[in-house]
Structure 1
Amino acid sequence: MEDLKFDSTKRLAVDYVEGILQPKPTCDTWDQIWNFQARPDDLLISTYPKAGLEQANATPSPRALKTHLPIHLLPPSFLENNCKIIYVARNPKDSMVSYYHFHRMNKGLPDPGTWEEFFESFLAGKVCWGPWYDHVKGWWDAKDQHRILYLFYEDMKRNPKHEIQKLAAFIGKSLDDKVLDKIVHHTSFDVMKQNPMANYTSVPVEFMNHSISPFLRKGTVGDWKNHFTVAQNDRFDEDYKQKMADTILTSHFQFL
């Protein structure tokens, strides 16, 4: 019955803001978003969708705000007020797979169609919040001009304690080992998957259907290998090589 209820709920429409596809509510309130007044002590957490924000969100901080906007659409007050910003980037193949499953269960996003169709949409950048390439490169290029801590999801999985220490130092917090270990525990994927404050299970099923795909699905590195065909992988690698030729970011994303 839950699936029927979910199916009867209409998906949100999408439209463009400055050439970037966005959910219609974002487009309708764009002036308000663009003119948002950040405070100097705000902490902004930014990612391309489904790039693993949970650990950053759980760390002690000033007012924490979250965005998926590419940097050129970021409300100017964040940079004008020299706000601290944490950006988390993730391997694009895993990002694509995770984003696909998020579309499947979330009525706030367009119907992704089949995996094959979504693969094409993602490659073409015709997804909400725009092309992955432009997103990660835009924030990367801005990190030396502004107070931006650029993190990688894979590093957070590999050595969470080290990355949380780095994050804590960035926001001016000194954490002893006991506190660090507690944060590492509570921000681990398995613990957060069971936490209603993090797993979005409180959202009504007609908007997010966790029986289709849970909000916190796997959180692993390399799950793309269970989805990509050999032909898709070859196409993706060629596209990636072309679009990332102008950045050293490629050294941070190891696919194989």
Structure 2
Amino acid sequence: MASKDLTNFTEYQSKDVQLEAFGEEDSKCKELILSLPKEYYGPKDSDVVVASMPKTGTTWLKALTFAIVNRNRFSSLENHPLLTSNSHELVPSLESNVYVDTISQFPKFDILNMIEPRLFGTHIPFASLAKSIKESNCKIIYICRNPFDTYVSYWNFMNKISLNFDFPTITIEDDFERYCKGICHVGSFWDHVLGYLNESIARPDKVLFMKYEDLKENGNSHVKRIAEFLDCPFTQEEESNGVIENIINLCSFKKMKELEANKFGEFGRKIEKNYLFRKAEVGDWINYLSPSMVEKLSKIIEEKFSGSGLSFKVCT
């Protein structure tokens, strides 16, 4: 096994990032991140990494990115891979499918035979990414979502998984306190977001920072933005022929949720693929969070993102 470069992760932990667990499986996630053989994966300049916190639009952005960069290979929508495979099967996770350890629940992915540009996903904080990724010319697309909807979606998702592993579920009130303290197996929401946001400002050619709500509101312009960032802009002919709209429709929440490939089967051990698709709405948090919870989280957001220039649309 290659040597483990944990310098960045240790530095990240020193910034009051807490990595406590829901249960045994989350502690394994923490252990996995700590033990990643980070130099095993040698990034190529043409690689693309889709980065995110869990439940912020990862499945959607992976699908869009795959469709955009492979639109010439799969010009026909009738036999497109996204119709028969989940986007996580087409865009493997660095920590789950590439940096594979004995504790991993997921199958190893053969990265050596992947067609370029190779696409990967990750939930790893920017500070904890391997030095080789940060110093290479590979590109990173980061998506964030307003913290209210992110939290509610994550809480629902983790409780579904807990039931499958016979772990006790946790009430939204108890779990909310953990979230406000920054307790998550990939670090706090604000540290995660700010890490990629700051890098996108410092190196806009390296990191593209996107917001879930913006992508939902104006998919056309943001799909074009992704293509331009990845140096494969849409031609005038493609735009006239409706290629952008076709990609948006192919990767829409409604379309993906109805596919057999996303309704049945497991995504990893005991994680049903349909768990990845809940509502995808902006503002659904209002059905779950009490006024006092909203007030508390709003104050934390204001404090943590003060001076960053980042704001969130929290309702439709």
Question: Shorter-normalised TM-score: what interval?
Answer: 0.7 to 0.9
**Aligned amino acid, residue 28 of structure 2:** K
Equivalent position to 2:252, from 175, 181, 188: 188
C-alpha deviation, 1:219, in angstroms: 0.3
> Deviation of residue 221 (structure 1)?
0.4
Matches within 5 A, 1:25-44: 25=29, 27-28=31-32, 30-35=34-39, 36-44=41-49
Match of 1:14 in 2: none
Aligned residue number for residue 230 of structure 1: 291
TM-superposed CA distance for 1:57, in Å, is 1.6
Alignment partners' CA distance in 1, 2:51 and 2:168: 24
Matched with 2:121 is: 66
* AA matched with 1:133: W
Structure 1 residue 77 and structure 2 residue 110: aligned?
no
Among 284, 292, 300, the alignment partner of 1:239 is 300
Q: Which amino acid aligns with 1:104?
A: N
> Is the CA contact 1:105–1:209 (under 8 Å) kept in the aligned structure 2?
no
- The total of aligned residue pairs comes to 235
Cα distance in 1 for partners of 2:303, 2:29 equals: 34
Secondary structure, counterpart of 2:282 in structure 1: coil
Q: 2:227 matched to which residue of 1?
A: 168
Q: In the alignment, which of 111, 119, 122 is matched to residue 179 of structure 2?
A: 122
Matched, 1:95 2:158: no
Matched, 1:201 2:206: no
Find the partner of 1:104 among 149, 155, 159: 159
The answer for the alignment partner of 2:78 in structure 1 is: none
d(CA) in 2 for partners of 1:131, 1:57: 22
Deviates more, 1:25-34 or 1:125-134: 25-34
2:58 match:
53
Change in Cα spacing, 1:141 to 1:25, as seen in structure 2 (3 Å) is closer
Q: What SS does structure 2 have at the residue aligned with 1:154?
A: helix
Which consecutive residues of structure 1, in runs of 5 or more, have no partner in the other structure? Answer: 1-16
SS at 1:150 equivalent: strand
Worse-superposed segment, 180-189 or 241-250: 241-250
State the 1:106 CA deviation.
2.2
Runs of 4+ in 1 over 6 A off after TM superposition: none
Mapped contact 2:257–2:263 kept (Cα < 8 A)? no
The C-alpha deviation readout for 1:117-158, integer Å capped at 9, x for no partner, is: 111111111111111011111111111333111111001111
Distance in 1, matches of 2:215 and 2:228, equals 15
Report the CA distance between 1:214 and its aligned residue: 3.1
Relative to 1, partners in 2 of residues 1:231 and 1:167: Cα closer, same or farther, differing over 3 Å?
A: same
1: CA distance between counterparts of 2:145 and 2:194? 12
Q: Retained in 1: the 8 A contact 2:265–2:272?
A: no
Whether the aligned pair in 1 keeps the contact of 2:30 and 2:186 (CA below 8 Å) is no
Alpha carbon RMSD of aligned pairs, Å? 2.5
TM-score, normalised via structure 1 length: 0.83
Cα deviation per residue 1:93-118 (whole Å; 9 max; x = unaligned)?
Answer: 00000111110122599865111111
Residue identity matched to 1:24: K
**Between 54-63 and 125-134, the greater mean CA deviation after superposition:** 54-63
Residue range with higher mean Cα deviation, 18-27 or 40-49: 18-27
Cα–Cα, structure 1 residues 112 and 80, in superposed 2: closer, same or farther, change >3 Å? farther
Further displaced range: 170-179 or 130-139: 170-179
Amino acid of the structure 2 residue aligned with 1:42: D
CA contact (8 A) 2:190 2:305 kept: yes
Query: What is the distance in 2 between the residues matched to 1:245 and 1:226?
Result: 27
- Tell me, in whole angstroms, the C-alpha distance in 1 between the residues paired with 2:268 and 2:141: 31
Q: Which ranges in structure 2 are unaligned for 5 or more consecutive residues?
A: 1-8, 20-25, 70-116
Q: Secondary structure at the residue paired with 2:141?
A: strand
Whole-Å Cα distance in 2 between the matches of residues 72 and 204 of structure 1? 27
Q: Decide which structure has greater strand share.
A: 1
Per the normalisation by structure 2, the TM-score is 0.68
Query: Residue 24 of structure 1: which of 14, 28, 31 is its match?
Result: 28
Tell me, in whole angstroms, the C-alpha distance in 2 between the residues paired with 1:67 and 1:26. 14
Aligned mates of 2:279, 2:148 — CA distance in 1: 14
Question: Aligned equivalents of 2:33 and 2:190: distance in 1?
Answer: 26
Q: Distance in 1 between matches of 2:146 and 2:200?
A: 19
